[in-house]
Structure 1
Amino acid sequence: MAEVTTTTTPPLAENAPVNATDYKPKLEEQMLAYASIYTMALICVIWGSIRSLKYVKKTIAKKRLIDASILTSDAKKFPINASLVLFTLYLVFKGNAIQDGVALARTHVLPNIPETYHHYFDTVVDYLPKANGTQFSWRDKVNNYYPSLEPYVAQVPEITKQNFVTFLVWLMTYEGVCCLATLLKPIISFVLRLLPIGDRWPRRNISYYLVFKSGKKEMEEGDIEDAKKDNVNKYFEMEFDDHWIWAFLAVSIVGVLHITHRHWITNNIIAVSFSIMGIEMLHVASFKAGAILLFGLFFYDIFWVFGTDVMTTVAKSIDAPILLMFPQDLLAHGWQKASKHGMLGLGDIVIPGIFIALLRRFDAHIFEKDGSKQKSRYYFAATMVAYTVGLFATIAIMHHFKAAQPALLYLVPACLITPLTLALIRGEFSQLWNYSEEHITERFDSIKKAEKEKIENANQKKNKQLKKTN
């Protein structure tokens, strides 16, 4: 979603003729802001697509399978899942939305339910936010049942809207700093390897691997380490090395500054890093999956922006690095006191970005298959141009109507129609439409194994029945 908003209420700039919050940016200031935002968006998509190709090639070279992948079945469910998450956040942030829903349920739903079940409804309502929409009553419940725990319960932070937002900010900032450390690790490694200390610390680079998993069935102690992937659930996995730790420590200052100041510069550094790594790691398994994903989110974005106030409410309530922003009053109020920001949500970068990254991998696949076409592979470049046009169409329409716009309304047609039209012209429509990388994904491999086991079990049952009859 692209939007203009006032995010803070700073004091007046030294030479500001009017109140900073009442200042109306000039056209050139608006163009500067959105040119900066869209330049950052293009950098994210291009850089992320390049890293995505390298990541897939590296995975194939090591004869591994990609774990985080979006298959066709996932793409179909993605808009519904995203809507549920978005609406849940809306209920949390919207003042009396939950209480209004409870009142509506009491009037229209509860009378149709047997009275024996009414106490369950009341129990659930007790744990919902109170009328002011700020706190839950879980502390009172615990203290009533276990009075001795009251001093300890009082030390636990209250579940409030503000604390929830703070938790999201800390979580997103940490993830963003991890992404930034990953991007800058090659530079840190280069610097560390220049140190004239031989192979001693900190020049050395030893790798570490942390994993938390549980067995799907009973196992003896020690067996889970060597158990097959199909027999375990993996909840947490992290691989890093000494140089990444140094990179993390070096860039952690960005996270600290963002937590303490919430400045738009630190926000953009974290958001750009998050976007690049998202495009690299979120692997779309096939062109069909990517097309279905974009098509579904096309209607998702339109509905939640034009049809309701849900998207704008959530975007303004979460003060976390989930969007790119640039002040439109930068020239008038300076980089510290500027308050009117143009914004572009990371979803409008990452979602088209993972599809464009797929097209870059398609270009590389066709070239490797037929090296003579090296100079004529430009599905990626053509779609990048279309994505750029879609971004500027968004700002033009938003400037004309003076209202927030669902950016995917313009980006999805641009990113879908362009490669399909190009494929028709070049006679490669079938190759593009049927292009798939599902065979290198873990989930597809698991699905195929499960299907194979079902067939084998069915054949075994048939053979047993035939033996009995004979």
Structure 2
Amino acid sequence: HDSALPDPHNGSAKEGSPTNGTTSPPTPGGIALAYGSLLLMALLPIFFGALRSVRCAHGKNPSDMPETITSRDAARFPIIASCTLLGLYLFFKIFSQEYINLLLSMYFFVLGILALSHTISPFMNKFFPANFPNRQYQLLFTQGSGENKEEIVNYEFDTKDLVCLGLSSIVGVWYLLRKHWIANNLFGLAFSLNGVELLHLNNVSTGCILLGGLFIYDVFWVFGTNVMVTVAKSFEAPIKLVFPQDLLEKGLEADNFAMLGLGDVVIPGIFIALLLRFDISLKKNTHTYFYTSFAAYIFGLGLTISIMHIFKHAQPALLYLVPACIGFPVLVALAKGEVTEMFSYEESNPKNPAAVTKSKEGAEASKETEKKEK
């Protein structure tokens, strides 16, 4: 899961429709439980994904290196997302919905198992006994030979990771056979956490470009056309978090869902994670910007759910989340006089250590030159 893919439910948290006409409307208690659960499920991957993104930025395992999003990537992303969404819309109009969803199910079955395995691995390590026979493995694919040899895949894992993969496969089979909403959410949470952990913005300006572009994308495709709603109703894949509003009446077999697209979790989440790493770079032992943006996300998503509930219409969540997640931290930076520091903070690309080394060598060389001139 190396990119936050355009999400047909991105921006739409909405009430699901009953599967038959005799279904009674959900109770206020069921609605409150569904919305509260969606909010909690959105916050968990952002919080833990942000914490793991700090370790990921300084990790040594090549398989855990983050993917850095540049300003060029951020500017192109809404266009790519729009093309993908429109492509899916046309596919569902032209081809049989069953075959497309079967292919998508298999694709997300494999991705979901890998994402869930990567997510639970750090937690599962605590449950293994000290004498557990843990062997190291490395999956390496290269291209060419000699000096032209290039690594295509370099993945390191151990026996514990294989156990996690086995457990994740059980969830995968459950999802594939039943499409149960709990299995869907387990995959959705894993995708979200991996996205926040492994997708890194290189600076705050890039984050503003990405969130601003997707703000326009979200509003246009939800309010301007019926494309997103059509794809959302046709698309069967764990790219949304769902929770039944009739859980109290029907239990685990409930079928009247409220939903939130993963794009509304991952996109603001990677910006919030960037602010956590910025907090740490200030070396003040405070996480002011992280907690401010986290509170802003709660406010924005709460506002989305409230307006959606009042008007009974799908809402582009980024319409409310983007101004909150950018505006609140910038106001705090203005109050503290740290706007310059915030926008000048730059993260190096860990996948390009040569560039980092050169920049360090350049800085050291300039210092030596200054000393000689003095």
TM-score by length of 1: 0.69
Deviations 1:103-162 (A, max 9, x none): xxxxxxxxxxxxxxxxxxxxxxxxxxxxxx33xxxxxxxxxxxxxxxxxxxxxxxxx432
Q: Hey, what does 1:307 align to over in structure 2? A: 224
Deviation at 1:309, TM superposition (A): 0.9
Once the two structures are TM-superposed, the CA of residue 252 in structure 1 deviates from its matched residue by: 1.4
1:19 lines up with 2:22 in the alignment: yes
Between Structure 1 and Structure 2, how many residues are aligned?
Answer: 347
Q: Summarize the Cα distance change of 1:390–1:205 in structure 2 as closer, same or farther, 3 Å threshold.
A: same
Task: Letter of the 1:381 partner, please give it.
Answer: Y
Give, in whole Å, the separation in 1 of the partners of 2:290 and 2:51.
10
Check conservation: 2:69, 2:202, Cα contact below 8 A: yes
Aligned: 1:181 with 2:124:
no
1:294 aligns with 2:211: yes
**3-state DSSP of counterpart to 2:133:** coil
Find the counterpart in structure 2 of residue 330 from structure 1: 247
Cα distance change, pair 190–32 in 1 and its aligned pair in 2 (3 A)? closer
Question: Any conservation in 2 of the 1:188–1:246 contact (CA below 8 Å)?
Answer: no
CA displacement at 1:7 relative to structure 2: 7.2
C-alpha contact 2:38 2:241 (8 A) present in aligned 1? yes
Matched, 1:246 2:163: yes
Instruction: After TM superposition, give the deviation of residue 3 of structure 1 in Å.
Output: 1.2
Residue 321 (structure 1) shift:
0.5
Q: Return the match for 1:405 from 308, 315, 339.
A: 315
1:164 and 1:63 map into 2 onto residues whose CA distance is 34
Query: d(CA) in 2 for partners of 1:322 and 1:275?
Result: 9
* Aligned amino acid, residue 380 of structure 1: F
Q: Percent identity?
A: 40
The CA deviation at 1:274 is 1.1
- The AA in structure 1 aligned to 2:102 is T
Q: 2: distance between equivalents of 1:63 and 1:259?
A: 31
CA contact (8 A) 1:67 1:442 kept: no
Task: Check whether the contact 2:45–2:189 (CA below 8 A) recurs between aligned residues.
Answer: yes
Q: Could you say which residue in structure 2 is the equivalent of 1:207?
A: 137
1:285 aligns with 2:202: yes
Residues 67 and 332 (structure 1), Cα distance of their counterparts in 2 relative to 1, 3 Å cut: closer
Q: Quick check: 2:63–2:155 contact (8 Å CA) kept in 1?
A: no
- Report the alpha carbon displacement of residue 188 of structure 1 after superposing the two structures with TM: 3.7
Secondary structure of 1:204 counterpart: coil
Of residues 181, 184, 187, the one that matches 1:264 is: 181
Quick one: structure 1 residues 444 and 37, their matched pair in 2 at CA, closer, same or farther if it must change by over 3 Å? farther
Whether 1:4 aligns to 2:3 is no
Note if contact 1:386-1:414 (Cα within 8 Å) is conserved in structure 2: yes
Largest Rg, 1 or 2: 1
* Residue of structure 2 in register with 1:361 after alignment: 277
Q: 1:27 to 1:7 in 2, by over 3 A?
A: closer
Partner of 2:105: 169
Q: Match of 2:76?
A: 77
* Contact 1:192/1:203 (<8 A) preserved: no
Q: Write out aligned runs for 1:154-165 (5 A).
A: 160-165=96-101
Counterpart of 1:351?
267
Equivalent residue letter for 1:45: I
Query: Is 1:423 matched up with 2:333?
Result: yes
Within 5 Å, give how 1:429-444 maps onto structure 2.
429-438=339-348, 440-442=350-352
2:56 and 2:65 in contact (8 A); partners too: no
Work out the CA distance in 2 between the residues paired with 1:319 and 1:296.
26
CA deviation string 1:153-181 (max 9, x = no partner): xxxxxxx4322211212221221221221
In 1, are the aligned partners of 2:97 and 2:234 still within 8 Å (CA)? no
Give the secondary-structure state (helix, strand or coil) at the position aligned to 2:236.
Answer: coil
The aligned counterpart of 1:141 is none
Deviation at 1:35, TM superposition (A): 0.3
Equivalent runs, 1:111-126 vs 2, <5 Å: none
TM-aligned CA distance change 1:214 to 1:67, over 3 Å: farther
| Partner in structure 1 of residue 67 of structure 2 | 68
Q: How far off is 1:251 after superposition? A: 2.5
- Length-normalised TM-score, structure 2: 0.86
The DSSP-based 3-state class of the residue aligned with 2:91 is helix
What 5-or-longer segments of structure 1 have no aligned partner?
10-17, 95-132, 135-159, 196-201, 216-221, 368-372, 450-470
Change in 2 beyond 3 A, CA 1:50/1:8:
farther
**Residues in 1 aligned to 2:122 and 2:65: alpha-carbon distance in whole angstroms:** 23
Cα displacement (A) at 1:25: 1.4
SS at 2:316 equivalent: coil
Range that drifts further, 392-401 or 64-73: 64-73
Shift of 1:445: 3.8
Letter in structure 2 aligned against 1:73: R
Pairing 1:38–2:44 present: no
Distance 1:180 1:2, change over 3 A: same
- In the alignment, structure 2 segments of 5+ residues that lack a partner are 1-11, 360-374
